[in-house]
Amino acid sequence: MASSVEAWVDEVSQTTHPDKVVWCDGSDAENERLIGQMLSDDTLLELNQDVHPNSYLHRSNPHDVARTEHLTFICSTTREEAGPNNNWMPPAEAQERVWPLFKDAMRGRTMYVVPYLMGPAESPYSKVGIEVTDSAYVVANMRIMTRMGQVALDRLEHDGDDWVPGLHSLGDLSPDRRFILHFPDTRQIWSVGSGYGGNALLGKKCYALRIASVMGRDQGWMAEHLLILELQAPDGDVMYVAGAFPSACGKTNLAMLRSPFEDQGWRVRTVGEDICWINVGPDGRFWAINPESGYFGVAPGTSYHTNPNAMETVQSNTIFTNVAVTDDGRVWWEGMDGPVPSQLTDWLGNPWTPEDGTPAAHPNSRFTTPATQNPALSSHWEDTKGVPISAILFGGRRSTTVPLIYRSFDWAHGVYVGATMASETTAAATGAVGVLRRDPMAMLPFLGYNMADYWRHWLDMGSRASNPPAIFQVNWFQRGEDGKFIWPGFGQNMRVLRWVYEQVRGKNGNSRETPVGIVPTASAIGAEELGLSSQQADALLAIDRDAWLKEVEDQGAYLDQYGERLPAELRAQQRRLLDRLQKVPA
């Protein structure tokens, strides 16, 4: 093992003063020991083991249930490097304000040292992290979400000092003393005061997105909040599609989509459902790996109707956090199939009946489950060189304006579409729900540097690739006059994927050019078969000139805050879009 790891662990323990230091090997025996320990101290509760073998429930502190973006900081030397998209804390202030919170934080606790690898064992693109944590729950989750233990230590034999240190302590779990800090210059992570996945499983958002985005900028690759799916056409042709969606906008459902046209040969398989690391291959295409090995998915809304593959994946070996439980030890959440049980224990551990009118499961309750249990896992999900991406979808939750799908005209236009995408907020982060916010490339909460520089990096990556992916925007969430979603979504999104496939392969003319981009015809998405009225089909695919003029103005105002740093190309794209819209008769 690299001696730098031992030196860092020593240094950390001299501040945190744990009673014991345990180096984790990721073995089954170690996991069983930890589970036993967590069952005895009530960190985990046993579920009905006949129904949910080797699966457990964790109830978090009720004030620690989601990512806390206002307590998440980028500690670059200057504020400009962090950008208007991030909270910034100068490194000296971090030392003064946050480091003291780690002092003696682990007294009376065990400090676990968790070596982990992000990416497949043999991939040249995979990278090592070491998380030190005083939470056994974090260790058990990291074991599912990453390749943990010996495989990472083996990798260190080659990578030497190229690893990312992440220091995590539950602290006292108070939001008043909670900080999630990222130091892009030294590539370090400090997280204190939260046990919530996105704040505490440091391999995920903190490393694989925030720190890795900086590494990617410096080293010529990209770390993105993208699912990766494998799309198979009836003739056996395979295409890989990536998709960026803000948290809790159906990303996991799309990545695990079960095609209603499976018998015709249209199939979807999952490569990844949250994060994607992209390198330009020698063939000029984007090659992507999924750095994770598990899914940390939102439970509510997951059912055999919306995501049968997820329901099958979570049958066993799964940690559920903040879901409700039935009297006979089965998990339950809102949106699950079947009738609502007449009584439950809710996510807080209190008796619950439907009359209570409160959610039984927390809206951001989660499952942590191994990718290998996904019945639709792609056989290429661990390919060492990754899979070649032919299309990128940018999607948000928009009740109006943005059509079901459109294709951008070229790479730079596509980057503009990603840079200006917006979405109504969800429960995945604390704060108001349903507020429209710009969330470029779904990376707003996850980028480790200035967004304007990031857009430049996107533009550059496209120029470096002779064959970059086609870029599309999708929106499953348009609402009709009755307030209901127009598009059925879920499995039926396969119709949209099919059109994407045909577009990329240049196989169809079922499309129409608009000022915003290329949209499908109503028949290309099977509007009639789905029983949509012609008005509904129009609403799904129409470009409302006035709404778009307002949209473009708002996009411009958003871009303005990046000032001089904004790539001129994006401003030019905005002007061209405006021109195209103004040519449409009012």
Q: What is the DSSP letter of 94?
A: I
- Separation CA 161–CA 4 (nearest Å): 7
Name the token pair of 153: 């230590």
Concerning whether 206 is annotated as a catalytic residue, the answer is: no
Q: Are strands 405-407 and 179-183 parallel, antiparallel or unpaired?
A: unpaired
Burial 564-581 (b: 16+ CB within 10 A, else e): eebbeebeebbeebbebb
User: Is residue 142 a contact point for ligand OXD (CB under 6 A)?
Assistant: no
- Separation CA 169–CA 144 (nearest Å): 20
Q: Under rule CB under 6 A, how many of the chain's residues touch ligand OXD? A: 6
Burial 219-235 (b: 16+ CB within 10 A, else e): eebbbbbbbbbbbbbee
User: Is residue 394 a contact point for ligand OXD (CB under 6 A)?
Assistant: no
Q: Contact with ligand OXD (CB under 6 A): which of 64, 81, 274, 439?
A: 274
User: Is residue 67 a contact point for ligand OXD (CB under 6 A)?
Assistant: yes
Three-class SS state of 392 = strand
Q: Cβ 366 to ligand OXD, closest distance in Å?
A: 7
HSE, side-chain direction, 13 A CA sphere, residue 581: 20
Site for ligand OXD in 322-351 (CB under 6 A): none
- Separation CA 243–CA 472 (nearest Å): 9
Which one of 24, 75, 206, 249 is the catalytic residue?
249
- Separation CA 153–CA 160 (nearest Å): 10
Q: Nearer to Mn ion by C-beta: 138 or 248?
A: 248
Site for ligand OXD in 145-204 (CB under 6 A): 198
- Separation CA 417–CA 442 (nearest Å): 12
User: Is residue 296 a contact point for ligand OXD (CB under 6 A)?
Assistant: yes
Q: Among Mn ion, ligand OXD, none, what does residue 8 contact (CB within 5–8 Å per kind)? A: none
User: Using CB under 6 A as the criterion, what x/- string covers residues 197-226 for binding ligand OXD?
Assistant: -x----------------------------
User: Is residue 428 a contact point for ligand OXD (CB under 6 A)?
Assistant: yes
Q: Among ligand OXD, Mn ion, none, what does residue 67 contact (CB within 5–8 Å per kind)? A: ligand OXD
Q: Nearer to ligand OXD by C-beta: 232 or 364?
A: 364
- Separation CA 117–CA 114 (nearest Å): 10
Q: What is the DSSP letter of 67?
A: B
Q: Cβ 384 to ligand OXD, closest distance in Å?
A: 25
Q: Among Mn ion, ligand OXD, none, what does residue 428 contact (CB within 5–8 Å per kind)? A: ligand OXD
What is the rounded end-to-end Cα distance, in angstroms, of the chain? Answer: 68
Name the token pair of 267: 């199939």
Q: Cβ 213 to ligand OXD, closest distance in Å?
A: 14
The amino acid sitting at 277 is: W
Q: Nearer to ligand OXD by C-beta: 68 or 475?
A: 68
Q: Contact with ligand OXD (CB under 6 A): which of 60, 247, 425, 514?
A: 247
Q: Nearer to Mn ion by C-beta: 64 or 274?
A: 274
Q: How many residues does the chain have?
A: 586
Q: Which of 182, 180, 205, 167 is nearest to 83 (CA)?
A: 182
Q: Cβ 497 to ligand OXD, closest distance in Å?
A: 21
User: Is residue 290 a contact point for ligand OXD (CB under 6 A)?
Assistant: no
Q: Nearer to ligand OXD by C-beta: 296 or 548?
A: 296
**173 and 195 Cβ atoms separated by less than 8 Å:** yes
Q: Quick one: CA torsion of 182, 172, 106, 46, rounded to 10 degrees?
A: -100
Q: Nearer to ligand OXD by C-beta: 72 or 511?
A: 72
Q: Nearer to Mn ion by C-beta: 166 or 567?
A: 166
Q: Nearer to ligand OXD by C-beta: 200 or 527?
A: 200
Q: Cβ 201 to Mn ion, closest distance in Å?
A: 12
- Separation CA 216–CA 207 (nearest Å): 12
Give the interface with Mn ion as residue ranges (CB under 5 A): 247, 274
Cβ-closest position to ligand OXD: 247
Using only the alpha carbons of the chain, give its radius of gyration: 23
Q: Nearer to ligand OXD by C-beta: 139 or 428?
A: 428
Q: Cβ 264 to ligand OXD, closest distance in Å?
A: 32
Q: Which of 548, 257, 285 is nearest to 406 (CA)?
A: 548
User: Is residue 397 a contact point for ligand OXD (CB under 6 A)?
Assistant: no
CA angle in degrees (0–180, nearest 5) for 123-126-130: 140
Q: Cβ 210 to ligand OXD, closest distance in Å?
A: 12
Q: Cβ 412 to ligand OXD, closest distance in Å?
A: 27
Q: Cβ 236 to ligand OXD, closest distance in Å?
A: 32
**298 and 366 Cβ atoms separated by less than 8 Å:** yes
Q: Are strands 147-148 and 179-183 parallel, antiparallel or unpaired?
A: unpaired
**75 and 181 Cβ atoms separated by less than 8 Å:** yes
**306 and 272 Cβ atoms separated by less than 8 Å:** no
Name the token pair of 572: 């030019």
Three-class SS state of 374 = coil
Q: Among Mn ion, ligand OXD, none, what does residue 198 contact (CB within 5–8 Å per kind)? A: ligand OXD
The catalytic residue positions are 249
Binding site for ligand OXD (CB under 6 A): 67, 198, 247, 274, 296, 428
